[in-house]
Structure 1
Amino acid sequence: MKFNEMPYQRINLEEKKLRFEELMKDFAAAANGEAQFEVHKRYYEFKDEIDTMVIIASIRHDIDTTDDFYEKERNYYDEIEPELIDMYVRYARLMYESPYRNYLEEKIGTVAFKNIELNIRSFDKKLIPLKQEENALTTEYDKLIASAEIDWDGEILNLSLLRKYLTHKDREVRRKAYSKYSSFFEANGDKLDSIYDKLVKNRTRQAEELGHDNFVGLGYDRVRRNCYDKAMVENFRKQVKEYFVPFAEKLHEKRRSRLGIEKLSCIDESVFFENGNPEPVGTPEEIMASAQDMYGKLSDETKEFFDFMSENELFDVLGRKKKRAGGYMTYLPVYNAPFIFANFNGTSGDINVITHECGHAFQGYLSGKDPIKEHADITMETAEIHSMSMEFFTAPFMDQFFGSRTEDYSSMHLEDAAIFIPYGCMVDEFQHIVYENPQMTPAQRHQAWIQLEKEYRPHLDYTGYPYFEKGGFWQKQPHIYDDPFYYIDYCIAQICAFQYKIRMDENYQEAWDSYLKLCKLSASDFFTNMLKEVGLDSPFEDGCVKRIVEKLDTLCL
C-alpha cells in the first residue's frame, strides 16, 4: 500500500488497555509453552497495530512540522508513550517469569530475553511523569531546529537547505552561510541550553528513581548494550585517540593542501576540493530512477526491495521548508514496509541517503520476513553496519550519480568516513562527562566540549564564530538531545564497514555474501557473536583499530 493511502486513526488508549489485559490474562492461563507462544503471536499483532499508527503520525508530522492535526497527534503520543511502555514492560515481565520460559526462549532466542531483562530494568511505572516530560523536551528541541528560517538573498531556507551553501566551492559563500548558521544557534543558545539542562536533570532523576548513581547505566540499558559495557567503549575510544586521531589529522592536512589554503577554518570542515565537492547529476526524480537501476543490478534481493519501496511510494526525500531537519529510516510493521525520510539539498549528501538509509531499509525489509518479531529488534551498532557498509557496496555504481567526478566522490566519501570517527567518539565522551556530572552548568558543558575538540579535532578553528568558539557546536547534533548514548554506534559500525570496504576490494562477492548474511541474522544473536559468524573483527579488541588505520593509510594517503 502506498504511504499516502495508509489509513490513520488515533490509538484509543483505554480500548488498548482492555485488550492488553485480555492478552495478559490469556498468557497467564496458558497451560504450556506452545499455548503461551500462540498468545505471543496475538501480542505481535496488538503491538504492530499501535506502532504503525504512532509511526504514521510521526512521519506525517515530520513531513510538515506546521500541520496542526499531526502536531496534536505527536503531542498525544508523547503523552501516552510512557503508558504504552508500561504495558510492554508488564507483558515482558510475564514472559520473563513464565514457567515455560525455556520453551519461549527456544522460540524467540536468548538475545530477546536479554533485551527483555534490559527493558524491565530500565522502566518503572513511577517514571511515567518524567518520561512524559522528557518526550515533550525532545519534541521541543526538534521543533526549534526545524523552525529555522534563514534569509538567503530573499529566499527562506531551513538548516538542511542551507547545507549546500555551507559546502559551496566559493569560500566567501561558505563564510556567509556559516555566519548565518552559527547566528541561528547563538540567537537560540539560551533556549537550547535550557532544554538540554532540563533533559539532563530529568534523565538523572529517572536513573536515581531506579537506583543508579547517574544516568549512564540507565542510558546503556535504554540503548540495549546487551553484550558490551562502558569499559569496552572506553577502551575503543582510547584506541581511536591513539591511532585514528593522528590519522584523521593527516587527512585534514591533505585536504588543506588540496584546498590551497594556509589554515583550515570551521567553514572548510566539509569541503574536500578547491573546485567544490562533487554534486549529484540530475533532478531528484532522475536520482531516484538511477537508484532503482543500481539496486536492480546489485542483487536479486536489493532489486525486490527497491521495487517494493518505489511502487509503494515509501520515500519522502525532497527538502522543504516545513520539514523536520535530518533523515532516517523507520518501519511500518502492519505493512511490512520500511520508510525513508530525508531532505535532498543538491549535495552529495542526497546520494548518501540513497545508500545509507537504503542500507537500513534493506535490512528492515529482509527482517520483516522473519515471523519472530524479536529478530528484527536490532541494536543500533548492528543497524549502522547495514547502512554504512551499503555506502561502500554501491560504490561501483557511483558514476550514475556523479559522472566525471565519480573518482572525486569516492575519495571524498572514504576520507569523510574516516575523519568522522574522532567526532563520533567525541560526542560519546561528551555525553559520559555530562551525565556523570549532572550538576554541571551550561557554561561548564560548553567548556567540556572545547576541551574535547582539542583532543579529538585539534585542527579545528572556530575563529570569527563566537558561539561555536565558546563550545556550542554540539547543540546542532540531535542525537545528543533525543537519543543519549546512541552516537558511538556509528563509530563502532564504521570500523566494521571499513572491514567490508577492504574485503570487497579483494573479493566483492565474498564480501557481499557476508554482508547479506549479517542482514539476515538481524538480532538472532548478540552483536559480538554475529561479527565472528560473518568473519569481522570486533572493534573492541585491542589491535583492531590499529589494523584498520594501517589499511586506510594505504587507501587514503
Structure 2
Amino acid sequence: MDFKFKDLPYERPDIDAFEKTIAELIERQQAAKSGEEQFEIHKDFYKLSKDFETAYNIAYIRHDADNTDEFYEKENDYFDEVIPRLSNATIKYNNVLAKSQYKDYLETKLGPVFFKNAELDAKSVNDEVIPLMQEENALASRYDKLIATAKIEYEGETYNLSLMAPFTTNQDREVRKKAQKAVSDWFMSVTPEIDEIYDKMVKNRTEQAKLLGFNSYTELAYCRMHRNSYGPQDVENFRKQIKEYFVPFVGKLAEKRAKRLGLDKLQATELGVYFNEGNPKPTGTPEEILKSGQDMYSELSPETKEFMNFMMEHELFDVFGRKNKAAGGYQTYLPNYKAPFIYANFNGTSGDVDVITHECGHAFQAYVVRNDEVTEHNELGMETAEIHSMSMEYFTYGWMKNFFGDRYEDYFEMHIEDASTFLPYGTMVDEFQHIVYDNPEMTPAQRKETWKKLEQQYRPYIDFSENEFWNLGGFWQKQLHIFDVPFYYIDYVLASIVAMQFKVWMDEDYKEAWEHYLALCKLSASDYYTNMLKEVGLKTPFENGVVKEIVDKFSAKIFK
C-alpha cells in the first residue's frame, strides 16, 4: 500500500451509524448456529472498529500537531462526546460473545484474555455513566489545551513547556534557575484552574464508580485498565519493595550526581541535569537523528530494518517541536494502513534520541504483529506495552556513539541514573492517586500537602526550596497521565523492572536476550501478562526479591 501520512483522507465517522451496525451485529451473533459462523460475523466487527479507530487516530494526531487548527479542534470535541458511546456499544457487543454457547470455540480463536477483559468491561460502563464520561473527556481536553498552549515568557521570547527544556537543563546553573523560575511562575498563575479541573475530575470519576457499584474509583480504574492478572494488593506490595530497595539505591545515585555537579545535595534545579558541562545532546539536526535511527535499526536486526524503512517511507513521524503543538510523545496505530505512527517534540536534548528508542519500541512491536487478523491478540495492557519500549532503550545502547559522539558514555551513565531515578517517582505518582481516590473529598491544598509528604518518602534526596511551585507540592500538576490516564503511570515502573531484567540479560548474552524480546513482542497480548513473562524467561515484578536482585546487579556495576 503506497501512502504518506500527510495525504491520508479523513472523514468524520458517524457514531449513530456505528451504534446501528453494532445492534445489527448483535442480532446476527445471537442468531448464529456455530462458533465458526460467529467468528465470520466477528470479522465484520473488525472492519467497523478499524474504520472508526483509523479516523479517530488521524484526527487525534492532526489535532495534537496544531492545537489552534479549528477543524481538528472541532473533531477532537466530537470524539470527546462519542468515544464513551463507542466504548459502551463495543462492550455490549463483546458481552454477546462472552455469553456465547460457542465460547469454547471462540476462545481458541480470540484467546482467553479477551473473555476476562470482556468481564471487566461489563462492570466498567453503562448507559447511565456516559454523560459523566463525556464530561471527563472534556475536562481532560481542557487540561491538555492549557498545558499545550502555555505561554512562558523567557528572555524576551515566548515558549511552550516543551521548548523550555533546553533552558531548564542548560549547563549554566543560573540559566537553569531563571528558566525554572519562569516555568514555576507560569504554573503558579494557572494552578487555580488546574486545581479546579482536577477537583471536578476526581468527583466525576468517583461518581462514575458509585453509579457502577464500586466502592471507589480505584476499583473501577483497575477494571478499565484491564488489570486481569493482578490487583491493588500486588501493586501495594510492589510499592513497598521500591521504597525498601530502590529509594536508598537512588539516594546513592543522587549523592554521586550531586558530587559530580559540585553540590552538597541535589536541588530541584538539577532535576534534569547530570553533568556540569551539560547533559549529552545529540550531535545532529532533527533530520540527521532520524537518519541515524534508520541506520541503527538497519543494523540491529532484519526485523527492525524492515520496520524502520516502512516508517520512513510512509512518513509516519511527526517529531519536530513547534509552537501550538501538544506536549508529550506517543506511538499510536492506524489499523486500516497497518501502520504505527510516532508523535513527539524534538527540542535538542537527549530526549530526542529517547523517542527513536522508546517510541520506536512501541511501534516496532505493533509492526511485528500487524498481520494478525485477531485484533484481540494485540489489545495490550500498558504494563506489557511499556516493556517493548523501555527494553528497546537498552537494546540500542551499542549505537549511541552515532547520536552522541564522544559523549556516548556520559549518555549511558545519565540513562541508567535517569531510568533508576524514575522508579521511585513513578511509584509515588501511583500512591498519590490511590490516596486521592480513596479520599475524594480532599481539598486542592490537601492534595498538594499529600504530594509533599510523599516526596519525603520517595525523593528525600531532593531539595525543592529553590522552586516555589514544586516546594508547595505542585509538581504533580505537570504530569499529564494523572489527568488523562489515571493509574497508568505504575505501568511504566512495572515495565521498567522487566526492561532492567532484559538489561542484565543482554549484558550476559545479547543475542539470547534479543531473541526472547522478539518472542515477547510476538506474543503481544495473546496470554495473561504474568504468563507471558514466564514464557520468555522473565520474572514478574510482584515476586518478592525481584526488585532487590536488580538493585544488587546495578549496584555491582555502578559502585564498583
Same fold (TM over 0.5): yes
In 2, the alpha carbon distance for the partners of 1:530 and 1:86 equals 29
**Selected match of 1:242 from 236, 241, 244:** 244
- What is the CA–CA distance in structure 2 between the aligned matches of 1:39 and 1:333, rounded to whole Å? 19
Q: How does 1:126-525 map to 2 (within 5 A)?
A: 126-525=128-527
Query: Are 1:15 and 2:12 an aligned pair?
Result: no
Q: Percent identity?
A: 57
TM-superposition CA deviations, 1:309-357 (whole Å, max 9, x none) = 0000000000001100010000011111100000000000000000000
Distance 2:490 2:69 in 1: 33
Amino acid aligned to 1:253 = E
**How far, CA to CA, are the matches of 2:68 and 2:350 in structure 1?**
28
For residues 26 and 198 of structure 2, what CA distance do their matches in structure 1 show? 38
Distance in 2 (CA, whole Å) between partners of 1:511 and 1:293 is: 21
Amino acid at match of 1:229: G
State whether residues 248 and 418 of structure 1, in contact with CA within 8 Å, keep that contact through their aligned partners in structure 2.
yes
Partner of 1:96: 98
- Within 5 Å, give how 1:5-44 maps onto structure 2: 5-44=7-46
Matches of 1:188 and 1:395 in 2, distance apart? 40
The Cα of 1:477 is off from its aligned counterpart by 0.1
Does the 8 A contact of 1:415 with 1:556 survive in 2? Answer: no
Q: Quote the Cα distance in structure 1 between the aligned partners of 2:9 and 2:491.
A: 34
Letter in 1 for 2:551: V
Q: TM-score, normalised on structure 1?
A: 0.99
Amino acid in the other structure paired with 1:252 = A
Deviation (angstroms), 1:20: 2.2
Letter in 2 for 1:158: N
Q: TM-score, normalised by structure 2?
A: 0.99
User: Could you give the per-residue CA deviations for residues 418-455 of structure 1, whole angstroms, max 9, x where no partner exists?
Assistant: 11100000000000000000010111100000000000
CA apart distance, 1:469: 1.1
1:305 deviates by 0.5
Letter in 2 for 1:107: K
Q: After TM superposition, which residue ranges in structure 1, 4 or more long, deviate above 4 angstroms?
A: none
- The answer to whether the 8 Å contact 1:414/1:556 transfers is no
Q: In 1, Cα distance between the equivalents of 2:413 and 2:462? A: 21
Equivalent residues of 2:432, 2:450 under 8 A apart: yes
Kindly indicate whether the alpha-carbon contact (under 8 Å) linking 1:66 and 1:322 is maintained by their aligned counterparts in 2: yes
Amino acid at match of 2:502: Y
Q: Is the 8 A contact 2:267 2:466 kept in 1?
A: no
Q: For 1:169-209, what per-residue CA distance to the aligned partner results, in whole angstroms no more than 9, with x for missing partners?
A: 00000001100111111000000000000000000000000
Offset from partner CA, 1:3-49 (integer Å, 9 cap, x none):
11111001112222232222222211111100000000110010000
Structure 2: any 5+ residue segments left out of the alignment?
A: none
In 1, the alpha carbon distance for the partners of 2:106 and 2:399 equals 44
1:93-150 superposed Cα distances (whole Å, 9 cap, x missing partner): 1111111111111111001111111111111111110000000000000000001112
Per the alignment, in what secondary structure is the counterpart of residue 398 of structure 1?
helix
Q: CA RMSD in A?
A: 0.8
SS at match of 2:462: coil
CA-to-aligned-CA distance 1:458-515 (integer Å, 9 cap, x gap): 0111213222211101000000001011000011110111111111111100000010
Q: Contact (CA 8 Å) 1:264, 1:461: kept in 2 or not?
A: yes
Partner Cα distance (1:439, 1:383) in 2 = 33
Residue 151 of structure 1 and its aligned partner are, at CA, apart by 2.2
Cα deviation, residue 278, structure 1:
0.2
- Where does residue 112 of structure 1 map in the other structure? 114
Question: Which amino acid in the other structure matches residue 9 of structure 2?
Answer: P
Distance 1:218 1:253 in 2: 40
Q: CA separation in 2, counterparts of 1:274 and 1:17?
A: 59
For the residues of structure 2 that align with 1:194 and 1:359, how far apart are their CA atoms? 36
